[in-house]
Structure 1
Amino acid sequence: MGRFKFNHIKPIMVETAKRWMRAEPFRQSATISYYAIFSIPGLLIIVIWAAGIFFGQEAVQGEISNQIGTMMGEETAESVEDLISNAYISSTGWVMKAIGIIALVFGATTLFFQLQKSLNFLWDVEPDPENNLKKMIIDRASSFGLILVIAFLLLISLVLSSILSILSNWIAGRFGEEIYYLTEIVDFLLSFGIITLLFAIMYKFLPDVEIGWKSVWVGAMVTAFLFTLGKTLLGLYFGMADPTSGFGAAGTIILVMVWVNYTCLILFFGAEFTHVFAKNYGHQIQPSEHAKWTAAYLHRKEEGEHEDPIESRTRE
């Protein structure tokens, strides 16, 4: 469709919102939130193990607790630490250790496995039944690879945060607070870049589609912006109110589910935006080798239904 113009923003956002609402995002997010409760302990343990090889497990676990505390409060961070401690494999027998590791990996990858199904649903693709077993193995391996990517990005974040912290203290003592604020802006931009990279990797490799990097980067940046904005607002809300006070001991679980639910809503909106952006700028999206278009999509295509919010706008 040519180069991007500012008058394209409104029709793209309107079409994105329409597709997002049709895809039942609240039901999809609730499903992911349910699986997240069982996957988070294993996911965090694997991330801590992987990143801890280079930075130390205590440092990685401390950084994760700090991030959770910033987003959901110190009480939730302590509860998540207890979950991690209880899920650690302490058995000395190698057979039980092997079973425990397999259980951790299976539990951790289930979250991304379900997230892949939701993204496939949003992008009108489904696995090819002829490749079920091979597809399942590939999906689990891809999910585990994504966990290692998260660990790597966390490691980078830890290193950069440590360097910037040292520089900030040195700069504040030598040059005053004006330059210190500059380092804070740099820290924010680096964090934003890491979040964008994570969303880009998820959109590129998790769904069963082949999509170009150009559309992926645009969608990832929009998603990262919405996620950062929402994270700030949600953090302020959690800080001023106590939405889980009526749930007693289950309050932490409810809070985690609320947070995952919100994150998935943003993720799905970003996925729909990526799809609409790619379609309206002529960037090809095709099912991957082990997938195919859904019957509903093929029916809409046969009926001649198409969504092109920019075309009608550019004719004006």
Structure 2
Amino acid sequence: MKKFSKRQILQSNLAQLFIRTLLKWQQDQCLEMGAALAYYVLFSLFPALLVILSIFSFFLGHDTDVYNQILKLAKEGLPYSAFIIIEDALIQMTKSSLGASIVGFSILFFSASHAFAFLSRSLDKIWQVQKIYPHQQNVITIISTYIQYRFFAFLLLLGSSGVFVLLILFDIANKIFINLLENVEETKHLVQAYENFWLGKVQAVHTFLILFLIVMIVFKFLPSTKIKWGDIWLGSLLTAIILFLLQKLVSNSFIVINITRQFQYYGVIGGVMVLLLWIYLTCEIFFLGSEFTYIYAQLFGSRRHQ
């Protein structure tokens, strides 16, 4: 009876959802894909920060609170050794000139577009998309297709960066709102209660919703196949939850702190190694969520009868 029950459980669709997700994650060589994607993301990170700082400086001036807000978000979501690397880079970026911003934008276009292009190819592999190319293509068509593909990938990056900018603006607006209330004598006790109890919870919920939105956008539009929203919502939700828990684990776990201390013997390179490790774990979680979404679509979603 126990063997029968165990067999029934393993053969159920719910159990097969997780088992087949792990098996396909291994078959698609997601460990190797995550390492390659982490390499592209690492080279895209600092130019992206430079462009974000340049945009805010152009519209809001150099005396904005964007620098501190980016540092705050980085400190909450990164290990300490990796945070030091980001902090030093931001200090140098605030001193950069217009020429440096243009160079950073150019580097961002190529590196980030390559990152999203590789991510798109990886998701196509997960969704088993087979692209059919014509046997004969002239040079102009090849170049035009390449530019369009890279430009589309860059637009996705700008969309994701735009969501990140909204997160920064929310924190700035929240701080301004608190400062205004502090000037009113009757609301000082409410401000203190809000900062002590509700502020962290509101920011956590807002961060999670932004993260969930980014994952859904990438899962929906980046693969070269039509995917329905009903197929991706659960995978996006689980991916966002795991990424959010990873962020909290990194910022509050003594185990992670002890691990990062082992890299301090490598000096500056140790900080880069910690940052690359954090990016790699994020990529692996993202690919695992993509595999879950694909299997969910096959078992429960719109592709279950195919």
SS where residue 244 of structure 1 aligns? helix
Q: How do residues 18-37 of structure 1 correspond to structure 2 at under 5 angstroms?
A: 18-37=23-42
Q: How far apart are the structure 2 equivalents of 1:56 and 1:164? A: 19
Q: Deviations over 1:17-73 (max 9, x none)?
A: 111121222111111122223222222223333455556565333322222222334
Cα gap change, 1:172 to 1:264, in 2 (>3 Å): farther
SS at 2:223 equivalent: coil
Describe the SS at the equivalent of 2:249: helix
Q: Does 1:119 align with 2:135?
A: no
2:71 aligns with 65
**2:108 maps to which of 100, 104, 110:** 104
Q: Report if the CA contact (8 A) 2:113-2:153 is conserved.
A: yes
Structure 1 residues 41 and 185, CA gap change in structure 2 (3 angstroms): closer
Pair 1:77 & 2:83 matched: yes
Instruction: Name the aligned partner's letter for residue 158 of structure 2.
Output: L
Q: In structure 1, how many angstroms separate the alpha carbons of the residues matched to 2:274 and 2:191?
A: 42
Cα deviation code 1:221-256 (max 9, x no counterpart) = 110011111222233233343141232221121111
1:145 maps onto 2:149 in alignment? no
1:267 Cα deviation (Å)? 0.2
2:283: which partner in 1? 264
Call closer, same or farther: CA 1:70–1:188 in 2, change over 3 Å.
closer
Displacement, 1:75?
Answer: 4.7
- State the match for 2:227 in structure 1: 211
Aligned to 2:4: none
Q: Report the CA distance between 1:212 and its aligned residue.
A: 0.8
Offset, 1:152: 1.7
Q: Distance in 1 between matches of 2:195 and 2:78?
A: 30
Q: CA deviation at 1:118?
A: 1.7
Q: Normalized against structure 2, the TM-score is what?
A: 0.76
- CA 8–187 in structure 1, closer or farther in 2 if over 3 Å, else same: farther
Q: Does 1:156 find its partner at 2:166?
A: yes
Distance 2:302 2:55 in 1: 36
8 Å CA contact retained: 2:44, 2:112: yes
C-alpha contact 1:216 1:274 (8 A) present in aligned 2: yes
Distance 1:221 1:212 in 2: 15
For 2:56 and 2:128, the matched residues in 1 are separated by: 35
1:147–1:50 Cα change, 3 Å: farther
Query: Aligned-pair distance for 1:167?
Result: 5.0
After TM superposition, the structure 1 stretch with the greater mean CA deviation from structure 2, 260-269 or 129-138, is 129-138
Question: Match for residue 239 of structure 1?
Answer: 257
Is the Cα contact below 8 Å between 2:228 and 2:302 reproduced in 1?
yes
Shift in CA distance, 221/72, structure 1 to aligned 2, threshold 3 Å: same
How far off its partner does 1:154 sit? Answer: 1.9
Q: Partners of 1:193 and 1:97 in 2: how far apart?
A: 30
- 2:86 counterpart letter in structure 1: V
2:54 corresponding residue in structure 1:
49
**1:225–1:91 distance in 2 versus 1, CA, 3 Å:** closer
Distance 1:174 1:205, change over 3 A: same
Alpha-carbon distance in structure 2 between the residues aligned to 1:86 and 1:53: 14
| Contact 1:215 1:274 (8 Å CA) reproduced | yes
Q: How many residues align?
A: 277
**1:199 partner amino acid:** V
- The structure-2 alpha-carbon separation of the partners of 1:11 and 1:178, relative to structure 1 and needing over 3 Å to count, comes to farther
Q: 1:175 to 1:38 in 2, by over 3 A?
A: closer
Q: TM-score scaled by structure 1? A: 0.74
- Distance 1:105-1:23 versus aligned 2 partners, 3 A rule: same
Alpha-carbon offset, residue 151 of structure 1 = 2.4
**Structure 1 residues not aligned, in runs of 5+:** 1-6, 285-307, 311-316
Q: 1:49, 1:11 → 2: CA distance?
A: 48
SS of the equivalent of 1:210 reads coil
Q: Deviations over 1:192-211 (max 9, x none)?
A: 11000000111112221210
Q: CA RMSD in A?
A: 3.3
Segment drifting more, 14-23 vs 193-202: 14-23
Any stretches of 5+ residues in structure 2 without a counterpart? 1-11, 135-140
The one-letter amino acid paired with 1:188 is A
